[in-house]
Structure 1
Amino acid sequence: MTLDLTRDRAEVLPLLCDYVATPVALPGEPGYERCAPWNVAATVAPAAVVMATTAQDVAGAIRFAAAYGFTVTVQATGHGAVGVGADTILVQTAAMKHCEIDPHSRTARVGAGARWQDVIDAAAPHGLAPLAGSAPGVGVVGYLTGGGIGPLVRTVGLSSDHVRSFDVVTGEGRLFRASPRDNADLFWGLRGGKATLGIVTSVEIDLLPIAQFYGGAVYFDGADAAAVLHAWREWTAELPETVNTSIAIQQLPPLPGIPEPLAGRMTVAVRYTAVGDFDEAERLLAPMRAVATPVLDTVAVLPYAALGAVHADPVDPMPIHEDQALLRELPAEAVDAVLALAGPGSGSPQVLVELRLLGGSLAREPQHRSAFCHRDAAYSLAVIGLAAPEIADVVAGHASALTDAVARWSTGGQMPNFAPSYDPARPSRVYNDDTLHWLAALADRYDPGRVLATGQVIRTTTA
């Protein structure tokens, strides 16, 4: 059949139903609202939403887009959403949430729509743990294709280093298995390259024998921020790899679910996780507990299924603005720079300003190399604010000022899962030159029609 690409998009969109065996929603139709992302600050208004249930649905949506001049993007939860326009078909994978645990091989096969809590709950009865992030409500696939910096990253390494294989649909609508032995180039690029090389429909991951950990958070009053942050900086210098920690200056609104000691005020949270000898873990934390009088202390021996309690990230959708800097070192001057803009009396509009200790297992190259860069960073600075319309510009400007304030100690890098944006300079912050080159070359090979060339994917420059 000869396809007429000049036909009006509104006229051809109903034909999308002929390419997929699953519901399709156009603007104004029931189900279209499912394109709304978790980060509601991003404007997501695609030409159509395909509620995919199989890899064949994904492939069909891509073939339709190629035939009629659309692009295709994917969304499971929309935590890292950056906006979708009317020239794009959105493949919603939330229904593809199957999770199969094999306790003998210590693996899980997980669908594209699964969230980490789904896998945590399925693995817990077997005493096994998936390497989730700090927010168990985040989608498994989006997190892993961005690398995955979890609460145990110093101990067990990058979460994507524990991926065994992907099933992925490329820009030609073809389904591939990617593993160290099969389509190894795709396997390299999918671990860190986000959606650059295709839409992942399922993933096989390792599960680790971690049933419990020692962790939680110790919260201090904001007035003690300077003492606590400087003590934390010195304390982290000698911590073993069994310990993971971050520190966050928080200004949490007085909303339901936020503990009374933390609501409506500035506090400082020392997040902490450790595995191995729990008595030793408690001993290692003692110096931080003694820096000032805590307003709340949640650190204890916890089941792995309670991992999300450490960071206590928000669950409900909200408008978020993020920025990030990776630091090669954290001298006292850098802490002072953060305090000047985010500490008591600074007038900071941010909900959270976090410093996170990196290194340990993260810094070592895994058995199978990947597109993830910046393993050499010693610390990260994350800035998160509410992008409500009336303060969005102030929040964004202040976040930039914070990352600029630590620029002297920055590597210049960012990680794929943090601070999503359409900034054309962002790819060069996320990837080194060699990785950018190879990701773009592979994208040209697997998506010659540039059907997936939308969002934050990497492509060669066109004239």
Structure 2
Amino acid sequence: MPPPPPSATAVLPPDLEASLRGRLSAGATVRGAVVSVAGVADVVAAVRLAGRHGVAVTGGGDGARGLVVDVDRLDGLSVSAGGWARVGAGVRWRRLAAAAARHGLAPVPGTSGDERVADAVTGGSVGLLARTYGPASDRVRAVELVTGDGVLRRATPDEEPELFWGVRGGGAALGVVTAVEVDLLAAGPRYAGELSWAGDDAARVLEEWRTWSAALPPQAGTSLVLVRRPAGEVAVSVRFGWTGDPGDGAAVLDGLRGGVRPARDDVGVRGPADLRGVAGPAAGVESSLLLDRLTASGAGHVLRAAAGRCAPRTVELRLLGGAVGWVPERSSAVCHRDARLAVRVVGGTGAEDRAATWACAEELSAALGPDTGGREPAHGHHRSPDVLARTPTPAVRDRLAALATATDPHRILEGACRGRPPVPVLGTGGRPACDG
């Protein structure tokens, strides 16, 4: 199990902790302000107690404040031969892919094999296969969650349809997810993996990738990652996935390989349970922005951002388009599907690193100017929500707010206050306030 989030060091008032422990099952644990639930009833009990005492509920992560509901032990998983799976909130893509493969099926994964499936659903995750099949949130049949009023709800296109729209891409603002049901595809081989080059080739590889990726068909997904090493040099890698015939994918990738010979090449035919090439860059405090295009001068700005003295650890360019931009069968809260590229800027968790990450994204946004399409950069988020769901349009934001008002009367859930989690007022019976 991963280490407890930072809020584990927080302490609930003794009377509130005792009350919470008295409502949980024997298998649940409380450490600091982190509740590791053993079942769905524990989630209901924790959220109801939080609402009664005006305590914010968060999903953990850097800077998490309030009562953290840890759902990792909600790890039930069943795969139906009918082409779908029921997945507990603690299940990761890697485990789902392995289970589905035994039935000749495969999921459409999010940005990383180690990402929780439920987080990808609520965060609108855009993985390496999204240009063919759409974001992970498009492949959902049902979501079960405990909303801020402490009610366990099941949202489907026919049952709680408005909640079904909002929870897919609406992030953590609408409830604590306990399980999701996702569609699966007939399994087949994929051509996927990663190419790596020496840092001296970064400028050439970036220019080659920029022109090559602009003409890719929807069967191809790719991202370019610039990583600043501790000594200051920049390493470059390209992730590639192809959903069609592997031979055709190899021919397409040769268009990039032929420009600058990679130092390392592990792209090959993968089975449905092999998620190599799907893994995203290292987690951390991040900012992101969306682009309509990337010009040669814009690529230069990206490279300088990755190589600067106060640069973040990672700058990723992720190709969008294809099925990401198509109108889905079931609409969701995922916005900005017309964007062509996403820039993800990841830094460390310290105050100075966070400031440098934010400043880098703001400088990039200013330098790229019209290519952003007027979209504002998003700051301070982790992998969930993903790049398209971090800055809702005004119409989507208002619709999500109306949903939150109806299902979270005490406004205790993380994300209820736009941009930052609520600040907990522990044990006072007061209502959480928005910070700033």
Give the TM interval when normalised to the shorter protein. Answer: 0.7 to 0.9
Judging changes above 3 Å, is the alpha-carbon distance between structure 1 residues 50 and 414 closer, same or farther for their aligned structure 2 residues?
A: farther
Q: Cα–Cα, structure 1 residues 52 and 414, in superposed 2: closer, same or farther, change >3 Å?
A: farther
In the alignment, does 2:45 pair up with 1:15?
A: no
2:248 maps to: 280
Structure 1 residues 108-149: Cα deviation after superposition (integer angstroms, max 9, x where no partner): 100111111121111122221112223211111112101110
> Equivalents in 2 of 1:70, 1:312: separation in Å?
33
Structure 2: tracts of 5 or more residues without a match:
1-11, 423-432
2:249 is matched by which residue type in structure 1? Answer: A
The partner residue of 1:100 within 64, 74, 78 is 78
CA shift, 1:309, in A, is 4.0
* Deviation of 1:245 (Å): 1.1
User: Within 2, Cα distance between the matches of 1:359 and 1:429?
Assistant: 18
The answer to whether residue 329 in structure 2 is matched with residue 329 in structure 1 is no
Distance of 2:303 and 2:413 partners within structure 1: 42
**1:383 maps onto 2:351 in alignment:** no
Indicate if the aligned counterparts of 1:23 and 1:50 stay in contact, CA closer than 8 A.
Answer: no
Please report how far the alpha carbon of residue 341 of structure 1 lies from its aligned counterpart in structure 2 after TM superposition: 2.8
2:63 is aligned to 83
Q: CA deviation at 1:328?
A: 1.0
Distance in 2 (CA, whole Å) between partners of 1:134 and 1:397 is 25
Q: Distance in 2 between the 1:377 and 1:181 partners?
A: 30
1:457, CA displacement in angstroms? 6.0
CA shift in 2, pair 1:287/1:149, >3 Å: same
Tell me the distance in 1 between the aligned counterparts of 2:302 and 2:265. 24
CA shift digits 1:75-134 (9 cap, x unpaired)? 5xxxxx25233xx2221111101110112x111100111111121111122221112223
Out of 418, 435, 443, the residue aligned to residue 404 of structure 2 is 443
- 2:146 maps to 169
State the 1:253 CA deviation.
5.4
**Matched letter for residue 271 of structure 2:** P
**C-alpha distance 64-49 of structure 1, shift in aligned 2 (>3 A):** same
Gap change, CA 1:184 and 1:302, over 3 Å in 2: same
CA distance in 2, matches of 1:51, 1:178: 24
Corresponding residue for residue 358 of structure 1: 320
Aligned counterpart for 2:239 among listed residues 260, 271, 279: 271
Which residue does the alignment assign to 1:42? none
- The amino acid across from 2:18 in the alignment is P
- Go from structure 1 to structure 2 and tell me whether the alpha carbon gap of 1:336 and 1:61 turns closer, same or farther (over 3 Å shift): same
Gaps spanning 5+ residues in structure 1: where?
A: 1-7, 27-31, 33-46, 76-80, 255-263
Change (3 A) 1:12 1:293: closer
Instruction: Call closer, same or farther: CA 1:72–1:379 in 2, change over 3 Å.
Output: same
SS at structure 2 position matched to 1:135: coil
Q: What does residue range 165-314 of structure 1 map to in structure 2 within 5 Å?
A: 165-252=142-229, 265-311=233-279, 313-314=281-282
Q: Is the 8 A contact 1:328 1:409 kept in 2?
A: yes
CA RMSD of aligned residues (A): 2.9
Amino acid at match of 1:16: L
Give the structure-1-normalised TM-score. Answer: 0.81
| Partner of residue 35, structure 1 | none
Contact 1:427 1:436 (8 Å CA) reproduced:
no
Q: 1:326–1:240: structure 2 CA closer, same or farther, 3 Å change rule?
A: same
Structure 1 residue 313, shift from structure 2 partner: 4.1
Q: Within 1, Cα distance between the matches of 2:303 and 2:415?
A: 38
Other structure's SS at 1:97 match? coil
SS in 2 for 1:430: coil
Could you tell me whether the CA contact under 8 Å between 1:248 and 1:354 is conserved in 2? Answer: yes
Shift of the 62–397 alpha-carbon distance from structure 1 to 2, 3 Å rule, reads same
Question: What is the rounded CA distance, in whole Å, between the counterparts of 1:143 and 1:221 in structure 2?
Answer: 32
Within the candidate set 74, 78, 97, 2:59 is matched to 74
Partner-residue secondary structure (3-state), 1:404:
helix
- The question of whether the paired residues in 1 share the 8 Å contact of 2:365 and 2:377 is answered with no
Q: Which amino acid aligns with 1:436?
A: R
SS in 1 for 2:274: helix
1:173 aligned partner, one-letter code: G
The answer to whether structure 1 residue 59 and structure 2 residue 27 are counterparts is: no
Partner SS state of residue 263, structure 2: strand
Partner of 2:429: none
Question: What is the distance in 2 between the residues matched to 1:129 and 1:50?
Answer: 32
Separation (CA, whole Å) in 2 of partners of 1:427 and 1:356? 11
Equivalent-residue separation in structure 2 for 1:65 and 1:218 (angstroms): 48
**Per-residue CA shift, 1:207-234, capped at 9, x if unaligned?**
1123321011221222222222122121
- TM-score, reference length from structure 2: 0.85
The amino acid that maps onto 1:54 is G
1:351 and 1:106 map into 2 onto residues whose CA distance is 40
Q: Which has the higher contact order (CA 8 A, sep 6+)?
A: 2
Mapped contact 2:121–2:136 kept (Cα < 8 A):
yes
User: Letter of the aligned partner of 2:87 in structure 1?
Assistant: V
**CA-to-partner distance for each residue in 1:369-397, whole Å, 9 max, x for gaps?**
11110100011111122335675544443
Q: In structure 1, the residue corresponding to 2:330 is in which secondary structure?
A: coil
Deviates most, 434-443 or 124-133: 124-133
Seen in structure 2, the aligned counterparts of structure 1 residues 222 and 138 have a Cα distance that, compared at 3 Å, is same
- Residues 45-96 of structure 1 deviation map (CA, whole Å, 9 limit, x = unaligned): xx63222122211111122122223222235xxxxx25233xx222111110
Deviations 1:432-453 (A, max 9, x none): 1111111101111111122325
From 82, 107, 130, give the equivalent of 2:107.
130
- Where 1:126 maps in the other structure, the secondary structure is coil
Q: Which moved more, 1:382-391 or 1:356-365?
A: 382-391
Amino acid at match of 2:343: L
Name the amino acid aligned to 2:262.
P
Q: Which amino acid aligns with 2:259?
A: V
Which residue number corresponds to residue 5 of structure 2?
Answer: none
Taking the aligned partners of 2:180 and 2:390, their CA distance within structure 1 comes to 27
1:50 to 35, 38, 42: 35
